[in-house]
């Protein structure tokens, strides 16, 4: 199992739109999972390997496990900060942790994690591609 650098983190922001909120005026709980995905997408861009490039190589990384712990509510027009950290790069899987907070007061909104299997074009579990390992190593320097 390969351990990435502890400082391999991406921070991105998102402004809450009205469609993200529920009848009570707070962000609907499932949207935090969308924000986790946004964080992962930006993480891959940051290391120079957009997810579309990984897919073009014939690999996919479906979520096989997810956790989310909610601590405070976000509302319409809040700017949300999403911190995404690659915490594990295994032989055929990878894991991320997330921390979401409101930008103006730094209030913690939710934390979570995802684990992803590496699949080939036939949807079979396969080894993490070298292109991804190399990108993570280069970004960790």
Q: How far apart are CA 138 and CA 81, in angstroms?
A: 25
Distance of alpha carbon 10 from the chain centroid: 9
Q: Which of 20, 22, 78, 134 is catalytic?
A: 22
DSSP tag of 24: T
* 40 touches 85 (CB < 8 A): no
Q: How far apart are CA 24 and CA 16, in angstroms?
A: 15
Q: Is 22 a catalytic residue?
A: yes
The residues assigned a catalytic role are 22
């Amino acid at each position: 199992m390969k351990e990435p650098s502890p400082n391999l983190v991406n921070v991105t922001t998102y402004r809450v739109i009205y469609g993200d909120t529920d009848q009570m005026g707070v962000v609907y709980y499932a949207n935090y999972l969308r924000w986790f995905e946004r964080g992962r997408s930006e993480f891959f861009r940051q290391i120079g390997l957009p997810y579309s490039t990984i897919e073009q190589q014939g690999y996919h990384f479906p979520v096989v496990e997810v956790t989310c712990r909610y601590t405070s509510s976000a509302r319409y027009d809040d700017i949300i900060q999403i911190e995404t950290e690659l915490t594990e790069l295994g032989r055929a899987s990878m894991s991320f942790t997330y921390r979401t907070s409101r930008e103006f007061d730094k209030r913690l909104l939710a934390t979570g994690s995802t684990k992803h299997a590496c699949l080939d074009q036939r949807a079979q579990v396969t080894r993490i591609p070298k292109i991804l390992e190399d990108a993570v190593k280069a970004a960790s320097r």
